[in-house]
Amino acid sequence: MFLGQDDPNGWQMVPGAHVYDNLINTLEYNGYEEGKNLFVFYYNWLDSIDSSAKKLHDFINDIAKNSPTGKVNIIGHSMGGLVARGCLEEKYGENCLVDKMVTVGSPHLGVPEAYGAWEGGEIWKKGFVNRVALEIFLNIKRQLGETRKETVREIAPSTKDFLPIFSYLKINDGQVIQFSPDDYPQNNLLANWAPFSIFPETTPYVIYGKNQPTLRWLTITKDLSWIDRVLGNWEYGKPVEKGYESNGEDGGDGTVSVLSAYPEASLSAFGFELGHREIVSEDEAISKIMGELDLESTSGADFQEDAQDYLAFYLHSPAHLEVANLPKDDVFLGEDDGKLKLIIIANPQVDKEYSVNVVGDEKGEYTLTVGQISDEQSNWDDYRGLTNPGEKDTFLIRFNPDTNQERLKDVQVLAGELPLNELIESLRVEMDQNSLLVQKLDNLKNLIPINLEKSWEYIYQIRNLTASLYKSGRINSDIQKVNSQLDSIAVYLKALAQNKPRVLAGKEAELNFRDAQEIVDNLAVVSYSDIEHLGEEFSLPAAFDFSLAQKSLKESSGDSYPAYLSARQGYFLGRNSKVLIQ
């Protein structure tokens, strides 16, 4: 769910998410009317479960006043079941006015996927809509110099509430590490919840999925790389292998194990051989839910699949967005003070060109973040520029399904210079302390009209030079800020170069990839003891560059021109990291 523009305190479903359509349609078939006696409780899923449960408690006490029984029935799927479960807690004062509660695929004892996000900033969630939402927020909220782990903990404290309260870690020989405060990150919320039996006025019912391969074990190593140690990742061990189970309580719905979804043997429960999404959308599961609520079920309802691809635009101040010809359905428009700032398009049309206008509201620098998210990967680019009130920069963006990336086709400016030239000049002024860097930036401006690819490579040569000068103390600028400014120029040049791809010669792509892989492999085996003497001012940007180099290599498979550029980028970023830790 995303923050909505109609109600600044309200939340909406992710566009393209249809997982609850069948359930809501069935309830409407039974005579329920949304807003009258059927209510969908939207909540800030990034916030702690405790906070959301308190809001649900107050929400229920308000709507229960119009209920004939003075109580309500609740259906909660996944995290929603935990929020519903949490509202029963006595710490909120008066009893939560719930008669029947059905939790569907809810991780009452947590899920191992949370370990990746909380301990290493890695998003493993197989529930695709959740992954899309978290990826978007991570990329638009992450601050300069902040690790992904730090961002997760800052913007999504709910992640901690999903940590398991059972043993799920193993060491390399397969031995299970027994659950304890010394060996596992702790989840005090779930650990301290009272059993359902302590709430006799509420009848709980559990529906869970079974016999689907579900993450159950993480084999870890305490031998951390210099990168993870610098980034502060994996306090309790880094996962080197994921173990999935299908049978018994260790199996589950592909996301939540039976062990976690069915936590108390005394509970009334029923399991289906369905996945995490299907147990709340398939007719057979909905029929069971309706039965527990003494309602009728329907069958054969038309059901739309969830979206598989997303295209997102997010604009940081001081400007707003204008986009023409947006689809009518499966699109989210997020506003701030009446100004359009966020657009999320589910299943963007292949080869459609989106004309994205950045319209200035105040004088200053803006950042247009463009992201494409699929089931397997995500790609994000930041396009920066300078603006004044009323000025308009137009970005022509085309969704590229072949490379799973969006493509910047062109930039049109109605007033002033291209953002690219403005950014170069801004950096040139900032670097006036060093005549060598100023000369390099002047060379770059002269090279751009001649060869876009060479200009793009030249940016990384400047980046490498800047790292060397910084390491030797010849410049004292914030290296992470300078890197960010250089990257903002590089992203334009790479995008524009891809619009004029050249034919690669012979084994050029293969040799280029090999060079990039070699430098990344050599960096990966550097011992932490060899760089421990370095301050964070050097080791942290080196770790960031190494992580970006690894990501670039993952995107460089094949012999296409975009793959070639990604490998080349990985090579230069690896060189940058090497300079900083030598």
pLDDT tens-digit profile of 195-240?
Answer: 888 888 889 999 999 999 999 999 999 999 999 999 999 999 999 9
Using the predicted structure, report yes or no on whether residue 93 has a pLDDT greater than 60.
Answer: no
φ, ψ of residue 525 in degrees (nearest 5): -95, 5
Using the predicted structure, report yes or no on whether residue 147 has a pLDDT greater than 90.
Answer: yes
Count how many residues are written for the chain.
Answer: 582
The mean pLDDT value for 132-158 works out to 89
Residue in the structure block whose two tokens are 């670097």: 431
* Residues 329 and 200 placed together within one structural domain of the fold: no
Domain extent at residue 540: 419-581
User: How confident is residue 376, by pLDDT bands cut at 50, 70 and 90?
Assistant: low
Q: What is the DSSP string of 75-144?
A: EEETHHHHHHHHTT-GGGSSPP-EEEEEEES--TT--THHHHHHHH------SHHHHHHHHHHHHHHPPT
- Contacts of residue 431, Cβ cutoff 8 Å, sequence gap at least 6: 437, 438, 441, 475, 477, 482
CA 315 from chain center: how many Å? 17
C-alpha dihedral (421, 425, 427, 433), degrees to nearest 10: 160
Q: What is the DSSP string of 478-493?
A: -HHHHHHHHHHHHHHH
- Residue 259's SS3 state is helix
Q: Which of 268, 303, 338 is the last residue of a domain?
A: 303
- Provide, for the chain, the percentages of residues in helix, strand and coil under a 3-state DSSP scheme, each rounded to the nearest 5: 40, 20, 40
User: How confident is residue 128, by pLDDT bands cut at 50, 70 and 90?
Assistant: very low
Question: In the 8-state DSSP scheme, what is residue 176?
Answer: B
- Contacts of residue 454, Cβ cutoff 8 Å, sequence gap at least 6: 447
Q: Are 313 and 322 in contact (CB under 8 A)?
A: no
Tokens of 451: 């060869």
Helix H or strand E segment including 333: strand 331-336
Q: Quote the pLDDT of residue 90.
A: 67
* Residues 241 and 130 placed together within one structural domain of the fold: yes
Q: Are 342 and 311 in contact (CB under 8 A)?
A: no
Q: What is the CATH number of the domain that holds 84?
A: 3.40.50.1820
Higher pLDDT among residues 311 and 308, named by residue: 311
Whole-angstrom CA distances from 79 to 82, 110, 137, 450 are 5, 10, 18, 54
Question: In the 8-state DSSP scheme, what is residue 253?
Answer: B
Whole-angstrom CA distances from 324 to 33, 302, 413 are 34, 31, 17
Residue in the structure block whose two tokens are 């009130």: 389
* Residues 367 and 481 placed together within one structural domain of the fold: no
Q: How far, in Å, CA of 576 to CA of 570, rounded?
A: 10
Q: How far, in Å, CA of 574 to CA of 568, rounded?
A: 10
CB atoms within 10 A of CB 299: 10
Using the predicted structure, report yes or no on whether residue 67 has a pLDDT greater than 70.
Answer: yes
* Residues 350 and 459 placed together within one structural domain of the fold: no
Q: Quote the pLDDT of residue 404.
A: 47
Using the predicted structure, report yes or no on whether residue 1 has a pLDDT greater than 90.
Answer: no
User: How confident is residue 412, by pLDDT bands cut at 50, 70 and 90?
Assistant: low
- Contacts of residue 582, Cβ cutoff 8 Å, sequence gap at least 6: 471
Number of compact structural domains in the chain: 3
Rounded to the nearest 10 degrees, what angle do helices 479-498 and 419-430 cross at?
A: 150
| Burial profile 87-118: b = 16 or more Cβ within 10 angstroms, e = fewer | bbbeebeeebbbbbbbbbbbbbbbbbbbbbbb
Tell me the pLDDT tens digit for each residue of 267-304: 999 999 999 999 999 999 999 999 999 988 775 555 56
Q: Quote the pLDDT of residue 3.
A: 35
Percent over 90 (pLDDT), the chain: 62
Q: Are 428 and 482 in contact (CB under 8 A)?
A: no
CA 174, 178, 183 angle in degrees (round to 5)? 100
Burial class (CB in 10 A: 0-12, 13-18, 19+), 25: middle
Q: Are 46 and 156 in contact (CB under 8 A)?
A: yes
* Residues 156 and 263 placed together within one structural domain of the fold: yes
Alpha-carbon torsion (579, 568, 385, 434), positive or negative: positive
Q: Quote the pLDDT of residue 468.
A: 93
The separation between the first and the last C-alpha atoms of the chain, rounded to the nearest angstrom, is 45
Q: Regarding beta strands 98-104 and 72-77, do their DSSP bridges make them parallel or antiparallel, or are they unpaired?
A: parallel
CB atoms within 10 A of CB 393: 25
Tell me the pLDDT tens digit for each residue of 484-539: 999 999 999 998 898 888 999 989 999 999 999 999 999 999 999 999 999 899 99
Q: How far, in Å, CA of 444 to CA of 78, rounded?
A: 52
Q: Quote the pLDDT of residue 304.
A: 63
* Residues 298 and 334 placed together within one structural domain of the fold: no
* Residues 435 and 373 placed together within one structural domain of the fold: no
CA 111 from chain center: how many Å? 17
Tell me the pLDDT tens digit for each residue of 543-565: 999 999 999 998 888 888 989 99
User: How confident is residue 51, by pLDDT bands cut at 50, 70 and 90?
Assistant: very high
Q: Are 381 and 551 in contact (CB under 8 A)?
A: no
* Residues 276 and 358 placed together within one structural domain of the fold: no
* Residues 296 and 318 placed together within one structural domain of the fold: no
Question: In the 8-state DSSP scheme, what is residue 13?
Answer: P
Q: How far, in Å, CA of 490 to CA of 456, rounded?
A: 6
Q: Which of 413, 429, 455 is the last residue of a domain?
A: 413
Which residue from 80, 83, 62, 82 is spatially nearest to 71, judged by alpha carbons? 62
Using the predicted structure, report yes or no on whether residue 32 has a pLDDT greater than 60.
Answer: yes
* Residues 367 and 275 placed together within one structural domain of the fold: no
C-alpha dihedral (121, 125, 131, 133), degrees to nearest 10: -80
* Residues 330 and 385 placed together within one structural domain of the fold: yes
Q: Return mean pLDDT, the chain.
A: 88
Give bridge partners of residue 206 from the DSSP assignment: 103, 269
Helix H or strand E segment including 464: helix 452-471
- Residue 311's SS3 state is strand
Q: Which of 378, 413, 448 is the last residue of a domain?
A: 413
* Residues 136 and 2 placed together within one structural domain of the fold: yes
Verify cis geometry, omega within 30 degrees of 0, for the bond prior to 107. Answer: no
- Residue 285's SS3 state is helix
Q: Quote the pLDDT of residue 11.
A: 59
